[in-house]
Structure 1
Amino acid sequence: MSLKYTPDHEWVLVDGDIATVGITHHAQDALGDVVFVELPDVGKTLAQKDVAGVVESVKAAADVYMPVSGEIVEVNENLKLDPALANSDPLGAGWFFKVKLSNAAELAELLDETAYGELTQ
């Protein structure tokens, strides 16, 4: 499995041709307490950098972008019921959706942990 990041503060955990997507610790820190998430519909196909959802907090609302192109194969129903999971466990139980990759070459455009760390300093 490979963990990558976007400059827009999404993380992507790739396992074969399925990528799990969520927001980073940096994003949830900046947003504050998450109170609502809007997730994409299962079966929807989106292109890289398309808006896939929305996360709302007590401070602001922010779009969640597609880090890679593909079809949404699963959404985190627990996150819809308990949006605070995005704060308490953003890299675990607070994942947003899973996408079946349609262009694995796009993964090369994403940041590794070192590059993302430099971006957020």
Structure 2
Amino acid sequence: MNRIREYRHTAFRLEDTHVQLRSGAFTVETLVTKRAKLLELQFERSLLQRMFGVMSVKLTNRAHPVHVTTLLDIDSSLQPLITSWFEARTKDVEIDPHSQYSSLKQEACPIPSYVEVNSK
């Protein structure tokens, strides 16, 4: 009964830069966050979920501490829509020009001068 009640109260809404999530059975959790604050998106499907054509979605939000929200039994045909919405977050994330990202990127994998690259 708890799983059925939780399924009936699960909802999400994707907008341009925001996502709204609601889940729970006896206690309902609501999360409203910006797409730029999301760190990770993960899809999981058990054998039983595959039989019913549903999946679980885990969203990891950048907070202190990191907040993980799981939506159970979402229609699996929505996976491409959710993935493309999440991948569009590259437009929202800005890298601070004063950070050391560019220097770290160059130093992360230096190729020594004595290494020869053969193309065959």
TM range (shorter): 0.3 to 0.5
Normalised by the length of structure 1, the TM-score is 0.32
**Which protein, 1 or 2, shows the higher relative CO under an 8 Å CA cutoff with sep ≥ 6?**
1
Higher helix proportion (structure 1 or 2): 2
Task: State the TM-score, normalizing by the size of structure 2.
Answer: 0.33
